[in-house]
Amino acid sequence: MSEKSENLVEIRGLKQYFPVNTGFFRSTPLKAVDDVSFTIKRGETLGLVGESGCGKTTVGRTILHLYKPTAGEIIYDGKPIKTKDDIKEFRKKATMVFQDPYSSLNPRMTVSDIIGEPLDIHKMYDSSEKRRERIIELMGYVGLNTEHASRYAHEFSGGQRQRIGIARSLAIDPEFIVCDEPVSALDVSIQAQVINMFDELQEKLGLTYLFIAHDLLVVRHISDRIAVMYLGKMVELADAKEIYDHPQHPYSKSLLSSVPVPDPKIARANKRIVLSGDIPSPLNAPSGCPFRTRCPHATEKCAEQMPALREISPGHFAACHIL
């Protein structure tokens, strides 16, 4: 065995284009993710934020090969994932928690079948007794009452369903979990329960998370580092605290200043940078920097050339010509 690399997941030049029919016999590629590179260190939580349509969910799904990447490399634990066998091996270590706890659980399966399904697929038990024990252990991890094992998903509230979803993803004893907006469908008081559970599981099981969300306060709370995406490109990547205290990219600045702070005095004094206009359609994204149409500092250069993501201070990356 080679010694474990520090970077658990490494993404190089990832592109994910979807063909969209735009006319008779004509299709235009929708560049959902366009040339994105980043690494996720072992044991860290990387937050991925951005507005709807920026490609953050697509990044998560493409990493797990739920979509076949158009181009680019996904390197897991120092090994590129290419062949079908690689993917199968990879999926024993990497898994996903979905956004909607209502539609991501099969209504015709009992809780124990839902949680046990990954065990069946990867044949991770020798006897039905072992399978049962494992399911009970998993339900314990997420704070579910073991008496509920034979119930169906509809008998549970949103927060409990999300716990079932998390137990299912823990079944294969993963190292890496892509969490796609796991708390955005939950009520505030339940959100905190689930966020704490993610924290505790990470400590207990040594998990690495890619945490995708649009709620910036939640992401700030849970993440070690945060990446900001806009229209398929990564525009900034830095430590969670650094990016909140000193955002560099004009988009990140505006995005972070737009977050309503739950404190009346701060909220009223807060100078928001309100952007004009809407997010352009990814089908005809602007040339050069995708943000230039809404950017208050855009110059001619921004229309001609996409700025590269470069290190502007140690550990702080941004893609902008003016920096």
Partner 1 sequence: MSLLEVNDLHTSFFTDAGEVKAVNGVSFSLEKGKVLGIVGESGSGKSVTAYSVMQILAGAGKIVSGSVKLNGQELVGAGEKVMKDVRGNRISIIFQDPMTSLNPTYTIGRQLMEGILLHTGRTKKQAWDRAVEMLKLVNVNEPEKRMKQYPYEFSGGMRQRVMIAMALACEPDILIADEPTTALDVTIQAQILELMKNLQEELGMAIIMITHDLGVVAQMCDEIIVMYAGSVCEQGTAEDIFYSPCHEYTKGLLRSIPTTSNDGERLQPITGTPIDLLNMPKGCPFAPRCDNAMKICLRERAQRKNIDGGHYAACWINERDGKVKGGEGSE
Residues engaged in binding partner 1 (CB under 8 A): 51-52, 157, 159-160, 187-193, 195-196, 199, 214, 216-218, 220-222, 241, 244, 254-255, 257-268, 270, 272, 274-276, 278-279
Task: Compute the chain's Rg from CA coordinates.
Answer: 21
The residue among 131 and 163 lying less far from partner 1, judged by its C-beta, is 163
Distance of closest approach, residue 132 Cβ to partner 1, in angstroms: 26
Measured from the CB atom, is 136 or 190 closer to partner 1? Answer: 190
Q: How many Å apart are CA 213 and CA 182, to the nearest integer?
A: 8
Q: Give least dist CB 134 to partner 1, A.
A: 26
> Least distance (Å) from partner 1 to the CB of residue 204?
14
Residue 137 CB, shortest distance to partner 1, in Å, is 22
Shortest Å distance, C-beta 188 to partner 1 = 6
- Name residues whose C-beta falls within 8 Å of residue 316's C-beta, 6 or more positions apart in sequence: 236, 237, 238, 239, 242, 243, 246, 248
Residue pair 206/27 in contact (Cβ under 8 Å)? The answer is no
CB of 233 within 8 A of CB of 290? yes
Q: What is the strand order of the sheet 45-49 is part of?
A: 94-97, 176-180, 208-212, 45-49, 225-230, 233-239, 316-318, 310-313
CB of 54 or CB of 309, closer to partner 1: 54
Q: Which is nearer to partner 1, 53 or 69 (CB)?
A: 53
State which H helix or E strand residue 209 sits in: strand 208-212
Pick between residue 87 and residue 190 the one whose CB is nearest to partner 1: 190
